[in-house]
Amino acid sequence: MSRIFTTSVASVYPLYVAKAERKGRTQAEVDEVHRWLTCFTQEQIQEHLDAGTTFEDFFAAAPMNPSAPLIKGVVCGVRVEDVEDPLMQKIRWLDKLVDELAKGKAMEKILRS
C-alpha cells in the first residue's frame, strides 16, 4: 500500500492551492476541480478537510465524475490512464487536473466539457 493512501487530504490540499496560486490561479479554481472530480459539494469537501480524511477514505466516499476516465496524460512521469490501482489512479487524476490548472489551461478543457 502506498503511503499516500493513508495521508490526509488536508495535508496535501494546501500544496495544490499553493501550486495553482504560484501560477496565477485561485483556491476557488482548485476547489472547482475537486468538486468536479469527486462530485462532492464544497461543504462535503470542507468536512473531509476538517476531519483529516485520508485519500483512501476520501475517494471511497466520492461518487466520482463519470467523465473522469477522460483524464489522460503524464504526472510525475506516469501515464494516468495506465495506473492499475484504482485508488492511485484517482489520486493521479486529481494531480493531473491541478497540473493542468497550474499550466493555464482553460477550465472548460480541464473539466472535460
Radius of gyration of the chain (CA): 13
* pLDDT tens digits for range 69-93: 999 999 989 999 999 999 999 999 9
Q: What is the pLDDT of residue 41?
A: 98
Give phi and psi for 28, each to the nearest 5: -60, -35
Which CATH fold would you assign to the domain 3-110?
Answer: Helicase, Ruva Protein; domain 3 (1.10.8)
Say if residues 97 and 71 touch (Cβ distance below 8 Å).
yes
Q: The whole model's pTM is what?
A: 0.95
Sequence ranges of the domains in the chain = 3-110
Cell numbers for 63: 461518487
Q: Where are the beta strands (DSSP E) in 1-113?
A: 74-75, 78-79
Chain centre distance of CA 11: 13
Mean pLDDT for 103-112 is 96
